Chain A
Amino acid sequence: MSAVLEIEGLRKTYKSRRRGVRNALDGFDMRVEAGQVHGFLGPNGSGKTTTLRTLLGLIQPDGGRMAILGHEVPGALPTVAGQVGAIVESPQFFPHFSARDTLSLLAGAGDVPAVRVDEVLELVGLRDRAGERVKTYSLGMKQRLAVASALLKNPKLLILDEPANGLDPGGIREMRTLMRTLAESGMTVVLSSHILGEIQLICDEVTIISLGRRVAAGPVEQVLAQHSHGGVRVRLDAAEDLAAAAELLGRAGVAVTRHPDHLMLAGVDKPATVSRLLAEQHLYVSELAPVAVDLESVFLEITATAPVPGQHRQVDQSAKIGEPGHAGTTGGWGA
């Protein structure tokens, strides 16, 4: 499969006399294959928006390589801009123009046929409100307009930063369907979002960034599998046998955590071996359930941003690759 988007070793450093030197992007890598819906995840201040802005020529990088549709950017951006639709961060439009005027002016600037304006307005559900001024729109409607502006060019690569922000549940579902439909039509979609349930549902692959570096990447299932830890929950017919079962499994090299009515096992490759081991000692299981992980828990684990009772995590406190267990102390602002 060919790469629509390639980023290698991207670096962006902000220097401030007051705040010192901060690496917003610290050798970040990313690769998006054609036709994918690709999730781009990271905690606040991790470098997501900086990456997208740099990719789109709004920020000048300090190092690294970027390519869109095989063209090196930012040098070739004027060449590929017509094939890239993007919204970056919150949708921002001139408040006194109507949605139709806004899109019409963008279409004019980009040599897009005027008929396309009505097509995208229909697509994002703004057809009947297209003549109203943007200042009267809700956040969700502005978001729809932003998506419409990104779709106006009928791009090959669609980059959406938090497209579900402000959308109602119906709107989120419509957006999900739209993303999938666009991907099926051959469009590649890069989706930055904090709604991880949505990402898990619609994305083929994900890239997770923390403190300016990639900390995980690959197909969603693969990323989940890499961080499932083989967790298994075990209940027995007789709760008084839990102590014996825990001792037996412990001797067999399984990590066991005791709970009042069940055991939690970790590092189990094949749950069937647990059942057999216990049955041999006449300990019979009533429940043997692999504990499924979701993208949210994986994200929190990878980025070390899970809330800890009694602590107030700061924006820059997240995981940095190569420093396991070390809540980062550098990098991050400006993203």
Chain B
Amino acid sequence: MSLYVTELRRLAKRRLTRVMLVLLVLGLTGIVTAFAFSSHKLSPAVIAQAQAESDANFRDAVKDWERSIADCDAAKARGEQTEDRYGPNCGRDWKPTPEMFDPKWNLPYQFDFRAEFGVFIAVFAGAVALFAFLIGASFVGAEWSTGGMMNLLLWRPKRLTVLGTKLAAVLTTLTGVTVVLGALWTLAFWLIASNRGTTEKVTSGVWQSAGISGLRAWGLILAVGAVAFALASLGRHTAMALGVAVGVGVVSEIGIRIAMTIAGVRFGDRWVLSTYALAWFEKKWTLVDYRSCELVQGECTPKEMLVTWQDSALVFGIGTAVVMVAAFWMMRRRDIT
């Protein structure tokens, strides 16, 4: 227990942890602030103003239409060709109608908590996952590269226990940060929706769905932190994790995508990691093979492939487990020089 508490203290004392936490909070605060200003509550006065704007626009359009017909008739009387410019029958058939000027178009943006908060859970998860990656990688990577790990092992000569305790400290910290900031994030958007948006139709089912999305976000954050930790431990340097992340990003998102397209592989995006990230947040992600209609005459519905969040759990779970096992195995086997 003392080692666990010490590692929590060590992580909290690290400058990178503090700086990145401040940056994370500033970034999230910036998003919330900007969003709060962009959302406007649709009060009766705002709706009436939008209606008035719409009516005025309609009247202006009618006037323009009438002027256009008059201009067209005058041109016709001078013997000019009018079809190209004014259309047939001087455009009399195109009289503007009130339906063409929907007042909604003049309404300012209003945040709808029910419809849109899910997207912001994904945004939050992305930001915290980045934080998790840096903290997880540097916590063990810097310990290796500065000799801190060796010092610690002289005190606690149980390699797996030491590595496991450090990992537990990272995951605990990430959980704490996720829970606290996640609660503040939810509260902030609820307040935005309450004061400058709408909370209509936010039923218990909506909260339940948001809660499940939050759990998936938490799982992703922990997985990213754990993978970064394991990679940095394998390479005994923070840069190892960063290098692998960049490498995987380039290979998966660019290399595989191009290779699959050139090779003509059906549903090539199923080999791309971001597909599973999208499915993880959206619960399911549909891949469409438009080439399946290439030689079909007439109506064709392209073939589809569904990637579910369970598929994502399998991919990310196996990937995380493999890296973790490798890190602990190497910790047990490799000499510390």
Contacts and interface: CB of A to CB of B under 8 A. Distances in A.
Interface in A240-254: none
Contacts of A128: none
Chain B contact surface mostly: helix
**B interface bracket (residues with beta carbon within 8 Å of A):** 20 to 34
Contacts of B153: 57-58
B143 A109 contact: no
Nearest to B2: A111
A9 to B, nearest CB: 19
A92 B148 contact: yes
Contacts of B143: 94
A88 B150 contact: yes
Interface string A72-110: 001001100100101010111111110001000110111
Contacts of A53: 335-337
A94 B150 CA distance: 11
B157 A92 contact: no
Contacts of A93: 146-148, 151
Contacts of B337: 53, 58-59, 334
Given A60-B335, A94-B143, A96-B15, A109 B155 contact: yes
Nearest to B150: A58
A165 interface: no
A216 B9 CA distance: 47
A106 B152 CA distance: 7
Nearest to A91: B147
Nearest to B14: A96
Contacts of A111: 2
A77 B157 contact: yes
A106 B151 contact: yes
A182 B173 CA distance: 41
A109 B3 contact: yes
A113 B182 CA distance: 37
B78 interface: no
A54 to B, nearest CB: 9
B154 A105 contact: no
A105 B10 contact: yes
B42 interface: no
Given A56-B157, A81-B157, A94 B148 contact: yes
Interface string B1-41: 01101110110011100000000000000000000000000
Contacts of B6: 105, 108-109
B162 to A, nearest CB: 9
A56 B153 CA distance: 9
B158 interface: yes
B201 interface: no
Contacts, number: 78
Nearest to B162: A109
Contacts of B3: 108-109
B4 to A, nearest CB: 10
Nearest to B333: A60
A51 interface: no
Contacts of B326: none
A201 to B, nearest CB: 27
Given A59-B335, A334-B337, A94 B146 contact: yes
B111 to A, nearest CB: 41
A91 B15 CA distance: 21
A67 B163 CA distance: 26
Nearest to A74: B157
Contacts of B150: 58, 88, 92
B100 to A, nearest CB: 65
B303 interface: no
Nearest to B158: A78
Interface string B142-177: 110011101111111110000000000000000000
Interface in B274-316: none
B142 A94 contact: yes
Nearest to B8: A108
Top 9 A-B pairs ranked by shortest CB distance? A92-B147, A108-B6, A77-B157, A58-B336, A59-B335, A57-B157, A109-B6, A110-B155, A96-B15
7 contacts: A58-B154, A88-B150, A96-B15, A97-B13, A108-B5, A109-B7, A111-B2
Interface of A: 53, 56-60, 74, 77-78, 81, 84, 86, 88, 90-97, 101, 105-106, 108-111, 149, 153, 334
Interface of B: 2-3, 5-7, 9-10, 13-15, 142-143, 146-148, 150-158, 333, 335-337
Given A53-B336, A56-B157, 8 more contacts: A53-B337, A57-B157, A58-B154, A58-B335, A60-B333, A91-B147, A94-B146, A108-B5
